[in-house]
């Protein structure tokens, strides 16, 4: 099977205060091109770890399994190579960069990725035009491009800034790690619309969320339930409502029994 | 009496021949102070973190009369090429501590005098205050004396000090003075540059008159083998402003020492700085800020980026005298260590005798932040560039404190020239 993203038997652990803690215990997941999948699951089930491992964070040690992205061995690539290959992670807690201007940061990132993809770099004028348009579509205040990256941004502004970066970097596969957390309903809609604008046969996404609300605006093709470092159940969009109604306990119990 | 012997222990012996030949009451007083104290060792509290071993073991000769004009011109051209506005500034150039009129370019609007024409040692830099100042007093040959009459806005001038090291160990000890009358203003850019081995020991005596404003940026770009130990004394009158910034990049061993005295109410002083060092460089930023009157404000932010085996030293003392009520003081020293062998020694000191004051101070030390690095890399920025962006951002917050725009542009241009791409720009 030659899927777009193919995760097989992925195990990963982290060294927490000298203790090795196994977090992913054999994740199998495949996402075809053009599809949006969601992962739901209780706190501590490994959702965010999966997103970090896919993006290349070094704190996690992959102990087994493989990840193929468009036929390439994703785990062998540096984080910046993954970005150039088309992967984007919208952070659950976007990082503040004091002293780094948001527009300069974004242009540096966009041009690094364009260089790596063999595209022409954008000059300052062309870049600013694109960035301003994209920021406006996300209802971002114009001065957010002039401020330091995420410094003094509200929770909602940080999440919009993530979606702005995603829009500008033109990924083919985006991971949204609880991008809905801390957003009010209006912001949620704006962020979801931002992601929906990117949907195309060439764009896939993995949406990590606790709440069904986001999935009302950003309707997924498949939903996966994760628990104790594994995908224990997969289904259609209707699964989200079932979880919202009944909680995870029922599914966890069924998985135990199986 | 007071003879210095070449067989004495310690670095003072390296100057014995020249010291024993000095003439004049002030120089003799300085010689007496030196004979008593010697040059500082690490047992001296103020020099605990900075050893003078880098001075080596060979006797220091006085600079030869005359200099290699082609070499000086090439070095000056290189300095001026850093930024277009540097080349257009009025400038006074010294080579090996002596004024080089043929390289200077001074407009008539500025009163410039020279120490060798009328040697005056000033009142603040008393020879017994510090052995390095006494050494300067004993051996000073020349120096630039800038004075601005009351009410005159004198614009900006660069004082460029070039060191041309050669086969033989050589030292020069310029004695500078800057004096602003009431309501006057001046912006000074002191540039220290050079090549080869030399010892540069400047002393600058500054007086800022009532409601006058002096902006003073020091660019320390000494040659990699150089030892540079400079001391600034600044006395600030009521409502006066001494706004200083030092950027330390060069030298094997460099110390920038500032003694600022807020002498009358509502005076303001900034003693800011940044240094970026690598290899085995040692860079020392030492200051004593004295609040000697009420309602004065002092601000100090110093940032250090240290790579390789480099060592940064920060000693910052804020002294608030009993009369200095309503003092507003702030001091912050921060260091970014890029290698496990880099080191910062930070010694903040607050000494407060008044009871109604607001003084805060802090120090931080750390490595590059892994979360920030990963964030940048996850956006496609290669690791080397991501590191550079974070280092630049750290220093940039200090460079932003340079209030003179031209000087700030020049500082940034130097950082770009030396360390590559400016942070965050594509």
pLDDT at A257 > cutoff 60: yes
pLDDT interval class at B8 (50, 70, 90):
confident
Whether B2 and chain A come into contact, CB under 8 Å, resolves to no
- Residue B425 confidence (pLDDT) above 70: no
Is a pLDDT exceeding 60 seen at residue A244?
A: yes
Out of A143-147, B7-11, B142-146, least confident range: B7-11
Q: Does residue A3 carry a pLDDT above 90?
A: no
Chain A contact present for B393, CB below 8 A: yes
Say whether B392 and A108 touch across the interface (CB within 8 A): no
Asked if B339 contacts B352 with a C-beta cutoff of 8 angstroms, the reply is no
Number of domains in chain A: 1
Separation of alpha carbons B349 and B358, rounded Å = 15
Domain span including residue A230: 5-101+172-257
Is a pLDDT exceeding 90 seen at residue B165?
yes
Interface test with B, best of A60, A77, A108 (most B CBs within 10 A): A108
Chain A contact probe: residue of B374, B380, B393 with most A CBs at under 10 A: B380
CB contact under 8 A, A100 and B381: no
Mean pLDDT along residues B39-50: 91
When comparing pLDDT for B316 and A215, which is higher? B316
B370 pLDDT band, cuts 50/70/90, is very high
Q: Is the dihedral of CA A102, A105, A107, A110 positive or negative?
A: negative
pLDDT at position B426, please? 37
Q: Alpha carbon of A170 to those of A164, A203, B164, B346: distances in Å?
A: 10, 9, 54, 46
Q: Nearest to residue A156, comparing CAs of A187, A190, A189?
A: A187
Per-residue pLDDT tens digits for B91-104? 999 999 999 999 99
Is B377 near chain A, with CB under 8 Å? yes
Residue of A nearest to B383 (CA): A80
In this prediction, residue B340 carries a pLDDT of: 96
Q: Is A157 part of a structural domain of the chain? A: no
- Band the pLDDT of B127: cuts 50, 70, 90: low
Q: How far is A256 from chain B (nearest CA, A)?
A: 36
Position A145 in a domain: no
Cβ within 8 Å, pair A98-B374:
no
Nearest to B383 among A80, A99, A104 (CB): A80
Kind and range of the H or E run holding B313? strand B311-320
In a domain? residue A113: no
Mutate to test the interface with A, among B334, B373, B378 (most CBs of A within 10 A): B378
**Contact residues, chain B, for A15 at CB < 8 Å:** none
- The Cα of B390 is separated from the nearest Cα of chain A by a number of Å equal to 8
Residues of A in Cβ contact (< 8 Å) with B394:
99
Query: What per-residue confidence (pLDDT) applies to B1?
Result: 52
Contact: A95, B371; criterion CB under 8 Å:
yes
Say whether B375 and A91 touch across the interface (CB within 8 A).
yes
Query: Beta strand pairing status for B268-277 and B297-306?
Result: parallel
Which residues on chain A place their C-beta less than 8 Å from a C-beta of chain B? 55-59, 78-80, 82-84, 88-89, 91, 94-95, 97-101, 104-105, 107-113, 116, 121-122, 124, 127, 165, 169
Cβ <8 Å between B389 and A108: yes
Of A19-23, A31-35, B371-375, B378-382, give the lowest mean pLDDT range.
A19-23
Reduce the DSSP state of residue B375 to 3 states and report it. Answer: helix
Kindly state whether B366 is in contact with chain A, defined as any CB-CB distance less than 8 angstroms.
no
Q: If you measure CA to CA, which chain A residue comes closest to B375?
A: A95
Percent above pLDDT 70 for chain A: 99
For residue B396, list chain A residues with Cβ-Cβ distance below 8 A. Answer: 99
In a domain, A128, yes or no: no
Residue B219 has pLDDT above 70, yes or no: yes
**A24-77 tens-digit pLDDT:** 999 999 999 999 999 999 888 999 999 999 999 999 999 999 999 999 999 999
Q: Is residue A198 part of a domain?
A: yes
Secondary structure of chain A as H, E, C letters? CCCCEEEEEEEEEEEECCEEEEEEEEEEEEECCCCEEEEECCCCCCHHHHHHHHHCCCCEEEEEEEEEECCEEHHHCCHHHHHHHCEEEECCCCCCEEEEEHHHHHHHHHHHHHHHCCCCCCCHHHHHHHHHHHHHHCCCCHHHHCCEECCCCCHHHHHHHHHHHHHHHCCCEEEEECCCCCCCHHHHHHHHHHHHHHCECCEEEEEECCCHHHHHHCCCCEEEEEECCEEEEEECCHHHHHHHHHCCHHHHHHHHHC
Domain ranges of chain B: 67-368, 369-426
Output the domain CATH number for residue A248: 3.40.50.300
Q: Considering chain B, what is the average pLDDT of its residues?
A: 93
Is there a contact between B378 and A55 if contact means CB atoms under 8 Å apart?
yes
Which of the pair, A248 or B221, is modelled with greater confidence? Answer: B221
What one-character-per-residue DSSP string does B166-224 give? -SS-BEE--EEEEEE-TT-EEEEEEEEEEESS-EE--EEEEEE-TT-EEEEEEEEE--T
What is the per-residue pLDDT across B322-334, written as a single tens digit (0 to 9) for each?
999 999 999 999 9
Predicted confidence band of residue A1 (pLDDT cuts 50, 70, 90) = very low
A16 versus B256: which is more confidently predicted? B256
Average pLDDT over residues A13-30: 91
Rounded-to-integer distance, Cα B399 and Cα A99, Å: 11
User: Which residue from B372, B374, B381 is facing A109, i.e. has the nearest CB?
Assistant: B381
Q: What's the pLDDT score for residue A2?
A: 55
């Amino acid at each position: 099977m030659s899927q777009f993203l193919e995760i097989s038997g992925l195990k990963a652990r982290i060294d927490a205060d000298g203790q090795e803690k196994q977090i992913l215990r054999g994740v199998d997941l495949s996402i075809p091109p053009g599809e949006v999948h969601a992962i739901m699951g209780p706190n501590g089930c490994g959702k965010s770890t999966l997103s970090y491992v896919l993006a290349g964070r070094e704190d996690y040690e992959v102990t087994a399994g493989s990840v193929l992205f468009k036929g390439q061995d994703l785990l062998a690539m540096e984080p910046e190579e993954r970005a150039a290959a088309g992967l984007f992670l919208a952070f659950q807690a976007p990082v503040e960069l004091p002293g780094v201007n948001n527009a300069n940061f974004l242009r540096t990132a966009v041009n690094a990725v364009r260089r790596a993809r063999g595209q022409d770099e954008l000059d300052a004028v062309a870049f600013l035009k694109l960035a301003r348009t994209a920021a406006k579509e996300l209802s971002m205040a114009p001065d957010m491009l002039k401020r330091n990256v995420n410094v003094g941004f509200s929770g909602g502004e940080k999440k919009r800034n993530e979606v702005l970066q995603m829009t500008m970097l033109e990924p083919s596969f985006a991971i949204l790690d609880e991008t809905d957390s801390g957003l009010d309903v209006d912001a949620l809609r704006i962020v979801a619309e931002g992601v929906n604008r990117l949907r195309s046969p060439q764009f896939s996404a993995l949406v990590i969320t606790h709440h069904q609300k986001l999935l009302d605006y950003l309707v997924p093709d498949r939903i996966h339930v994760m628990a104790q470092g594994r995908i224990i159940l997969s289904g259609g969009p209707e699964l989200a409502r079932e979880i919202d109604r009944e909680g995870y306990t029922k599914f966890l119990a069924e998985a135990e029994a199986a | 009496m007071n003879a210095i012997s070449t067989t004495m222990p310690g670095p003072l012996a390296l100057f014995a021949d020249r010291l024993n030949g000095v003439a004049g009451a002030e120089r003799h007083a300085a010689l007496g102070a030196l004979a008593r104290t010697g040059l500082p060792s690490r047992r001296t509290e103020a020099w605990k973190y900075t050893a003078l071993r880098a001075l080596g073991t060979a006797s220091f000769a006085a600079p030869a009369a005359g200099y290699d004009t082609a070499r000086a011109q090439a070095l000056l051209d290189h300095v001026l090429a850093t930024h277009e506005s540097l080349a257009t500034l009025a400038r006074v150039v010294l080579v090996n501590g002596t004024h080089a009129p043929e390289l200077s370019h001074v407009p008539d609007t500025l009163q410039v005098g020279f120490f060798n024409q009328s040697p005056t040692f000033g009142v603040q830099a008393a020879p017994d205050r510090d052995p390095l100042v006494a050494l300067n007093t004993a051996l000073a040959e020349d120096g630039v004396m800038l004075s601005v009459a009351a009410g005159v806005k004198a614009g900006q001038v660069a004082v460029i000090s070039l060191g041309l090291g050669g086969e033989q160990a050589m030292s020069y000890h310029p004695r500078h003075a800057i004096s602003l009358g009431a309501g006057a203003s001046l912006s000074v850019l002191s540039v220290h540059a050079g090549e080869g081995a030399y010892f540069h020991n400047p002393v600058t005596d500054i007086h800022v008159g009532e409601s006058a404003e002096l902006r003073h940026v020091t660019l320390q770009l000494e040659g990699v083998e150089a030892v540079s130990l400079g001391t600034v004394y600044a006395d600030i009158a009521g409502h006066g402003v001494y706004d200083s910034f030092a950027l330390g990049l060069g030298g094997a061993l460099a110390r920038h020492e500032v003694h600022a005295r807020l002498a009358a109410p509502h005076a303001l002083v900034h003693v800011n700085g940044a240094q970026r060092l690598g290899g085995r460089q040692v860079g020392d930023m030492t200051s004593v800020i004295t609040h000697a009157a009420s309602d004065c404000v002092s601000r100090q932010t110093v940032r250090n980026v240290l790579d390789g085996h480099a060592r940064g030293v920060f000693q910052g003392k804020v002294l608030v005298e009993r009369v200095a009520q309503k003092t507003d003081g702030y001091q912050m020293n921060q260091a970014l260590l890029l290698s496990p062998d880099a080191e910062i020694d930070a010694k903040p000191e607050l000494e407060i005798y008044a009871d109604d004051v607001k003084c805060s101070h802090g120090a931080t030390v750390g490595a590059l932040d892994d979360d920030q690095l990963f964030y940048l890399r996850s956006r496609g920025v290669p690791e080397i560039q991501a590191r550079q962006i974070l280092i630049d951002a750290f220093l940039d917050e200090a460079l932003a404190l340079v209030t003179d725009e031209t000087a700030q542009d020049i500082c940034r241009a130097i950082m770009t020239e030396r360390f590559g791409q400016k942070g965050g720009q594509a």
